[in-house]
Amino acid sequence: MRINKIKTLAVVAAAFGTLAAAPAHAGKTLDGIKARGQVICGVNTGLAGFSAADSAGKWSGLDVDVCRAVAAATLGDPEKVKYVPLNAQQRFTALQSGEVDVLSRNTTFTLTRDASLGMHATGVTYYDGQGFMVPVKSKIKSAKQLKGQTVCVQSGTTTEKNLTDYSKASKLGIKPVVFEQLEAAENAYFTGRCIAYTTDASGLASTRNKVAKVPADHIILPELISKEPLGPMVRRGDDEWFAIVKWTIHGLLEAEEYGVTQANADSLKTSSTDPVVKRMLGTSEDTGKLLGLDKEWLARAIKSTGNYGEIFERNVGPKSALGLPRGVNNLWNKGGLMYAYPVR
């Protein structure tokens, strides 16, 4: 009797293993993307370093590169992306309604957004925190000195709620001056309507670099008053598409960890003996079939944008116009929080 039970369990386990390794169906979102030949990506209306269009209409930034990597993985071409600029109020409706396939727009993951808006958080592409920017001439050195002061903030954001919470908790009596549009909030600050402007620290650096007549005339205060894990979101109801976007992000992170770059990805296909590298580049196991893609899905993504570290450095890193330190956005084995799920 015991032998029969063991045999039965072995058969069930083998069957489950076969099912688990079976090729995945592409999913309705990917089917639609292939039919139209484009990934539709919701991005910021203009946040330098993350998603902004130049005078010729060419988009660039960290969030934009995520869209390009996904397009390369799914369609074989990073240029097959339609960018839809969305403000803070529009972004979730655009994703919920199917106007965009993925929202890659400096958006914070929160419980409410994850659990009640019908969308999935795919992965963190930038760990941030909310800060304050003030004119140097104000002589304000700390957020604690903002007691009773006016602070410009954009509505429909976690930023607005965080400001209220911080003001109450610290008994500062801050007076929020709220604007629906990002540009309006920035303009109000730079024209002196508010003594300070608050948003994610990366956004402050972007605004100072792009909008300020003399960037050196403005300082970002040292305090961060919140946690802002930013990353792409997709609609609930299509697990296959959720997996593709999620694993593209983790694949780019793991590529950095194993030294696979935009420049060496092709040569490593033939020269590397590292099992992890071979798996990432599709020269050993075919991980693509589990996602409804081909075996070179991740190799194409890496060759299109570079690994996560290259994307960071090019768009927001110390050598970019924004000049942001890698900090907590470094890899886990270099003192940061970026930890890739294993691509295997």
Read off the pLDDT band of 27 (50, 70, 90).
Answer: confident
Read off the pLDDT band of 17 (50, 70, 90).
Answer: very low
pLDDT at 97: 97
The dihedral through the CA atoms of 221, 223, 226, 231 has a sign that is positive
CATH number of 131-226: 3.40.190.10
pLDDT mean over 24-51 = 92
Assigned token pair, 64 = 């934009």
The CATH number fitting domain 28-127+230-334, selected from 3.40.190.10, 3.40.630.30, 3.30.70.1400, 3.40.50.620: 3.40.190.10
In this model, does residue 15 exceed pLDDT 90? no
pLDDT mean over 258-268 = 98
DSSP tag of 216: G
Distances (CA, A) of 155 to 138, 185, 279: 25, 9, 45
- Pairwise CA distance, residues 317 & 312, whole Å: 6
Q: Please give the backbone phi and psi of residue 40, each rounded to the nearest 5 degrees, phi first.
A: -100, 120
Per-residue pLDDT reduced to its tens digit, 117-170: 999 999 999 999 999 999 999 999 999 999 999 999 999 889 999 999 999 999
Per-residue pLDDT reduced to its tens digit, 204-240: 999 999 999 999 999 999 999 999 999 999 999 999 9
Domain residue extents for the chain = 28-127+230-334, 131-226
Least Cα distance to 32 among 241, 331, 188, 327 occurs for 241
Angle in degrees, CA 190, 192, 196, rounded to 5: 75
Distances (CA, A) of 228 to 119, 194, 200, 202, 245: 17, 23, 7, 10, 20
The dihedral through the CA atoms of 294, 307, 39, 344 has a sign that is positive
Q: Do domains 28-127+230-334 and 131-226 have the same CATH topology?
A: yes
- Pairwise CA distance, residues 240 & 252, whole Å: 19
Specify the residue for token string 């009640």. Answer: 116
